[in-house]
Amino acid sequence: MSRTILIEKKILEKNDIAAARIRQKLIADNTVVVNIMSGPGAGKTTLLEETVRRLAGKINVGVIEGDIATDNDARRVERAGAEWVVQINTGGACHLEAGMIERALETAPRGMQLLIIENVGNLVCPSSFDLGDDWKVVMASVTEGQDKPKKYPGMYRKSHALVLNKVDLAPYVNVSPGLFVKESLEVNPALKVFLTAATTGDGVDEWCDWLASLKKRPASV
Amino acid sequence: MARRAPFGYNGCMHELSVAQSMMAVALENAAANNAKKILRIELVVGNMSGVSVDALRFAFDAVKTDTIAGNAELVIRETAADAHCAACGKSFEAGQYDFSCPACGAPVFPKGGDELYVKELEIE
């Protein structure tokens, strides 16, 4: 005899519960968590190196690097002066999950003011997983082409800020940063926008000022 | 010194990960209800959830083998985001790639559609 039982349970409930535990843990130190997401090669790690260089000595920054393989990024960010860096290798997974962040945080020092999570380079999957972050940032580079916001709207809709990087290369790749931003705002008008060239440092100060000004969001959000 | 986390993963693609989580929810609830078999799993998947229904079905076939859901049917109820045009007042169900009002062309910003849950199980 078969019977039907009502479940109504979120599929990613375990991830969401782990994300809630991360928020609970980090609220004690008032650590602001920023989750940076982009396609591969947008310049996340270069921007992070520049960010850590500017913020080191001013605020205590920790970094979690997510990659499918290698610890290249963690080494680069550590050399730039991050207080605490851990590399997570997902072994093929296209995104980070809250459980991975929770385990990585077991070795974290107390007193971090800012924790930056560099997600696996991918414009689709990472947006589905809450990492206990306060702020989500989508990063793009002009070399990816102007049409990306509307091809990958999920990531843009869920983010609070957009960093458009490599703007120094715009004249060579026939992309208008202004139009890229316009397309992005047509997907999500609430995006705070930064135009950067991480390798020359252009725009990085404004981005760092914003990071340093961020407050922890209420746990219910 | 930069550290590798003291653990590694044999990770998988996003929908496979979602299928595994979905199967865990189904198996836990089936066990709690003393089920011998799961005959049907019904999901609700929103069009803004970032999950591809086709990829999820494909992944489901991979994760159901050797479980009590081995012959289960997967029923997916798809939901859509709602959009309301501030310019002309039209309300409509929005797809993931709808950015403007079909009536007047003004920009619209859909809300919702991010549901992703196991609605019910049929067990015996």
Per-domain boundaries in chain B: 14-80+113-123
Residue A77: closest C-alpha in chain B: B2
Q: What percent of chain B has pLDDT over 70?
A: 93
Q: What is the pLDDT of residues A126-145, one digit of tens each?
A: 988 999 999 999 999 999 99
pTM of the model as a whole: 0.92
How confident is the model over A170-180, as a mean pLDDT? 96
- Mean of all residue pLDDT scores within chain A: 94
- The answer to whether A11 and B22 are in contact (CB under 8 A) is yes
Size of interface A-B (CB pairs under 8 A): 139
- Output the pLDDT for position B11: 63
- Output the pLDDT for position B68: 97
How confident is the model over A184-198, as a mean pLDDT? 97
Residue A13 has pLDDT above 70, yes or no: yes
Q: Do B2 and A188 touch (CB under 8 A)?
A: no
How confident is the model over A143-170, as a mean pLDDT? 96
Point out the residue among B5, B14, B48 whose CB comes nearest to the CB of A87: B5
Contacting residues of B for A100, CB less than 8 Å apart: 5, 9
Residue A183 CA to residue B16 CA, distance in Å, equals 31
Point out the residue among B13, B120, B122 whose CB comes nearest to the CB of A94: B13
Point out the residue among A7, A92, A153 whose CB comes nearest to the CB of B119: A7
- Output the pLDDT for position B2: 60
Which CA distances in Å does A32 have to A67, A112, A218, B43, B67? 22, 8, 11, 34, 42
Residue A70 CA to residue A72 CA, distance in Å, equals 6
DSSP secondary structure string, B7-53? -------HHHHHHHHHHHHHHHHHHHTT-S-EEEEEEEEETTSS--H
- Output the pLDDT for position A221: 45
- The answer to whether A34 and A51 are in contact (CB under 8 A) is no
Q: What percent of chain A has pLDDT over 70?
A: 99
Residue B74 CA to residue B24 CA, distance in Å, equals 14
Residue B107 CA to residue B103 CA, distance in Å, equals 11
Q: What is the pLDDT of residues A40-85, one digit of tens each?
A: 999 999 999 999 999 998 999 999 999 999 999 999 999 999 989 9
Q: What percent of chain B has pLDDT over 90?
A: 85
Residue A105 has pLDDT above 50, yes or no: yes
- The answer to whether A29 and A110 are in contact (CB under 8 A) is yes
Residue A220 has pLDDT above 70, yes or no: no
Point out the residue among A4, A8, A85 whose CB comes nearest to the CB of B2: A85
Burial class (CB in 10 A: 0-12, 13-18, 19+), B25: buried
Write down the CATH number for the domain with range A13-213: 3.40.50.300
Residue A118 has pLDDT above 80, yes or no: yes
Top residue of B7, B10, B14, B42 to mutate, by most chain A CBs within 10 Å, is B14
Q: What CATH architecture applies to the domain B14-80+113-123?
A: 2-Layer Sandwich (3.30)
Q: What is the pLDDT of residues B28-60, one digit of tens each?
A: 999 999 999 999 999 999 999 989 999 999 999
Contacting residues of B for A95, CB less than 8 Å apart: 14, 17
How confident is the model over B49-73, as a mean pLDDT? 94
Task: For chain A, give every domain's residue range.
Answer: 13-213
